[in-house]
């Protein structure tokens, strides 16, 4: 990377994270094309980048709005001028409900959740504050995280949401799109329609399955986050090719204690400890200059690189480029990213809503 524009103090001193804006724009355009061609609404998840400028690019390209995972992200997006936001999280408790209602006064907001208790809390707060909040019933279609377990539960919750004041039943939501998604969402939609309600939106998500979303006859909205940057997990699961990975971490070799081992100055406090579990890729990131090497262990500020004999050695002072395992986790570790086009740094953008912010 070359410093050709404004960079922060010590900007290109390692470790730092960079984003290739040309690649980002190609990724945005391609996913928007796919969605447009298939008649799907695209709602990018901004937890991957946490950047106002990229959210604006996504919406300007045709996205219907954005998805957020917590209120601090919503606040950053409202400040960025985004006007349609889905909070994919059960918003609960008086402090958060006050914040949510203040935001709902400014933009269109919906919340996805799986319980009547959360719906009732939202409705009471929205009613008190004189705002309308959308509600999507989250369905667990296989992840075993949040979400109602059956179509009947989904329909029962949808009916109650419909009856609550100041709540707008907006449809169904799930993450990720998997083998059981189509069956459960179809059944849930039918059960809700049988009760006389419309299901305006069926929102499914995840970059891995994004380009198969059209195969589902029930899904109307695609949520995806990681597609904008790609990462090593996406390369492994085939959803983003390596040359479309826009987020990279730059690190320096600070020790070469043995012939087959080198130490980089980017540890878990830079890359995150996220592994690419179940993807068949070992370790904590791909070193572009040494694709045969394995970052087999991360310490807080050190990465240990094991170089197989057929790979050329690393020398103290070498700067290497890492495609991280998980873009969202790596973003969350940075105060800012250096933004560039083809290696020419054009600025640095602070990351919003990090650091245990709710």
Which among 25-33, 164-172, 178-186, 269-277 is the span making contact with its own copies, rule CB under 8 A? Answer: 269-277
Work out which of 140, 170, 221, 231 binds its own copies, going by CB under 8 A.
Answer: 140
CB closer to its own copies out of 16 and 229: 16
Contact present, 90 and 135 (Cβ < 8 Å): no
- Torsion over CA of 109, 114, 116 and 117, rounded to 10 degrees? -80
Q: How far is the CB of 301 from its own copies (least distance, A)?
A: 5
DSSP of 189-215: HHHHHHTT----EEEEE-STTGGGGGG
Beta strand 336-341 pairing with 84-87: unpaired
Alpha helices in 195-279 (DSSP H): 232-237, 268-271
Q: What mask of x and - would describe binding to its own copies in positions 53 to 72, judged by CB under 8 A? A: ----------------xx--
**Residue 226, φ and ψ in degrees, nearest 5:** -65, -20
Q: How far is the CB of 50 from its own copies (least distance, A)?
A: 10
Measured CA to CA, the distance from residue 275 to residue 256 in angstroms comes to 24
Query: Does residue 273 interact with its own copies by CB under 8 A?
Result: yes
Query: Does residue 30 interact with its own copies by CB under 8 A?
Result: no
Work out which of 33, 106, 212, 255 binds its own copies, going by CB under 8 A.
Answer: 255
Measured CA to CA, the distance from residue 87 to residue 85 in angstroms comes to 6
CB closer to its own copies out of 213 and 325: 325
Q: How far is the CB of 111 from its own copies (least distance, A)?
A: 11
Angstrom CA distances, 283 to 130, 131, 160, 270, stand at 51, 48, 47, 15
Which among 154-162, 215-223, 232-240, 256-264 is the span making contact with its own copies, rule CB under 8 A? Answer: 256-264
Which parts of this chain interact with its own copies (CB under 8 A)?
A: 10, 13-17, 47, 69-70, 89-90, 92-93, 95-96, 99, 113-115, 117-118, 140, 144-149, 252, 254-258, 261, 263, 265, 268-270, 272-275, 297, 299-302, 304, 316-317, 328-329, 332-336, 351, 354-358
């Amino acid at each position: 990377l070359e410093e050709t524009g404004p960079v922060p103090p010590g900007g290109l001193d390692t470790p730092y994270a960079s984003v290739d804006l040309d690649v980002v724009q190609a990724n945005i355009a391609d996913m928007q094309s796919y969605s447009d061609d298939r008649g799907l609404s695209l709602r990018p998840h901004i937890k991957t980048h946490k950047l106002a400028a990229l959210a604006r690019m996504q919406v300007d390209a045709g996205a219907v709005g954005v998805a957020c995972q917590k209120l601090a992200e919503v606040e950053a997006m409202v400040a960025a001028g985004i006007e349609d936001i889905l909070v994919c999280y059960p918003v609960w408790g008086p402090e958060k409900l006050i914040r949510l209602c203040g935001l709902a006064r400014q933009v269109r907001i919906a919340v996805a959740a799986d319980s009547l208790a959360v719906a009732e809390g939202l409705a009471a707060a929205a009613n008190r504050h004189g705002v309308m909040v959308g509600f999507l019933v989250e369905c667990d279609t296989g992840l075993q995280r949040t979400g109602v377990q059956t179509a009947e539960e989904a329909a029962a919750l949808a009916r109650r949401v419909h009856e609550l004041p100041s709540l707008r039943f907006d449809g169904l939501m799930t993450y990720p799109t998997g083998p059981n998604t189509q069956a459960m969402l179809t059944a849930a939609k039918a059960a809700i329609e049988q009760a006389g309600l419309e299901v305006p939106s069926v929102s499914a998500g995840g970059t891995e399955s994004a380009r198969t979303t059209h195969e589902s006859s029930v899904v109307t909205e695609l949520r995806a986050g990681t597609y904008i940057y790609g990462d090593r997990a996406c390369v492994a699961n085939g959803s983003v090719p390596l040359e479309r990975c826009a987020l990279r971490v730059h690190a320096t070799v600070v020790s070469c204690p043995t012939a087959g081992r080198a130490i980089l100055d980017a540890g878990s406090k830079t890359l995150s400890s996220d592994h690419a579990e179940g993807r068949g890729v070992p370790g904590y990131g791909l070193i572009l200059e040494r694709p045969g090497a394995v970052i087999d262990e991360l310490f807080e500020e050190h990465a240990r690189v094991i170089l197989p004999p057929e790979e050329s050695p690393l020398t103290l002072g070498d700067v290497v480029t890492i495609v991280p395992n998980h873009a969202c986790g790596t973003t969350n570790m940075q105060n800012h990213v250096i933004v560039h086009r083809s290696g020419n740094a054009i600025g640095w953008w602070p990351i919003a809503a990090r650091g245990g912010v709710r």
